[in-house]
Structure 1
């Protein structure tokens, strides 16, 4: 049965591909095999190609004429660009979420946070990456700004992949302490958004990015490239 009859299969493929890319199961530059994906999800190739075009527009995939689709690449420049732009986007997202988010969206955010905390407690690296991405994506949705969301989503792709470089290292007391701090900051973001305190929500985003910056720079920044302060 094809995607026109069973759209759930196409949706499942999209969710699976996004998760595999964010968690680095599919590393940057990896070739995507249309035939294998079609067989795995019970789809013909046209809906698979359509999904890849959509994901290319979101920044997950690179499409070039006469070449197989590939997972979006990462470079020293993309790392630098991330650290330069991320603070502006994340802080704005948090501020607007505090101003515009709905009660229903806040409830979803709380459920995502429960899953993130469970992943931290269980030392589930894949879960940490995935649910952290979902947490900040939900805040972006709560901002209700059509210009902000695409930029935030593109940033999040590399945020998750850079973060995976950090998370893959053996757990240490320092790492566990900072993971707990990140989890606590998520809880505080929820509280400030619920109170509609835009200033506090924005400041928490800045602190949260600074924590990420320190950890990512330690494990992922190229030698001689210092991530800019937030």
Structure 2
């Protein structure tokens, strides 16, 4: 059976194929968390194969990997779809997110290296720059990277799958509730969130796990309050379990 052009290129230049696959993975993750691909949208495997010059097998392999990470949903005899956001998933998010963030942040205060703290500070600088530039997409993406970096600094592989799944919906919710930061309250909240990031970094740097946990608890409550203004029906209280 004749190989496709993309397949022949992958055989001749495996490194190039891996690069294209990595580019596809990064692009797809960004499109999902930025909500360029909406929750429940079909992920067109053929279109992605053509866009990134890959044959179908590596794209399918990536789809399985991203399904395991929680970005997409795979079902038999159905096209891949972006992971959904419904009442139950949001309720689960608000219940689990504070516990996961507190656990990873406290462990980061115990296990982080000086180099990792420096990387966290660099992400924070980009987050503040996005706020100043009113750049919603980069604000959301750098907030995502901030908490993901803390998860890596925790050095606990059991927590990372849960953290990665939570960050997907946190980023998508953030794209919604940060979309119109025009009110004074919103601007104050953004400034407070950035200040809390700095406080979290300082607590981690001085290895104060208790303070790091307390600050991220307040940080999550700030996000929760702003998020619920957009996702909760009037009169419905979103639970917070800590």
Separation in structure 2 between the aligned mates of residue 140 and residue 43 of structure 1, nearest angstrom: 32
TM-score (norm 1): 0.96
What is the aligned partner in structure 2 of residue 95 from structure 1? 106
Q: Shift in Å at residue 224 of structure 1?
A: 4.3
Aligned residue pairs total: 230
Q: Show the counterpart of 2:3.
A: none
2: CA distance between counterparts of 1:180 and 1:121?
A: 10
Alignment correspondent of 2:237: 226
Structure 1 position 114 matched with structure 2 position 112: no
5 Å-filtered alignment, 1:38-77, equals 38-77=49-88
Q: Distance between the aligned counterparts of 2:84 and 2:184, measured in 1? A: 32
Q: Tell whether the 8 Å contact from 1:165 to 1:220 is kept in structure 2 after alignment.
A: no
2:50 corresponds to 1:36: no
Q: 1:185 aligns with which of 182, 187, 196?
A: 196
1:5 aligns with 2:18: no
Q: Which sections of structure 1, spanning at least 5 residues, go unmatched?
A: none
Structure 1 residue 39, shift from structure 2 partner: 1.5
Q: Give me the CA root mean square deviation.
A: 1.3
Q: 1:86 aligns with which of 88, 93, 97?
A: 97
Q: Distance in 1 between matches of 2:97 and 2:72?
A: 20
User: Does structure 1 conserve the Cα–Cα contact (< 8 Å) formed by 2:131 and 2:139?
Assistant: yes
Give CA deviations for 1:78-133 in whole Å, capped at 9, x if unaligned.
11111111111100111000000111211111111111111111111111111100
Maintained 8 Å contact 2:29/2:71: yes
Q: Which runs of 5+ in 2 are unaligned?
A: 1-8
TM-score (norm 2): 0.92
Tell me the CA shift for residue 222 of structure 1. Answer: 3.2
Mapped contact 2:181–2:187 kept (Cα < 8 A): no
Matched residue, 1:204: 215
Alignment pair present for 1:150 and 2:161: yes
Larger radius of gyration: 2
Q: 1:24 aligns with which of 27, 35, 47?
A: 35
Structure 1 segments of 4+ aligned residues over 4 angstroms from their partners: none
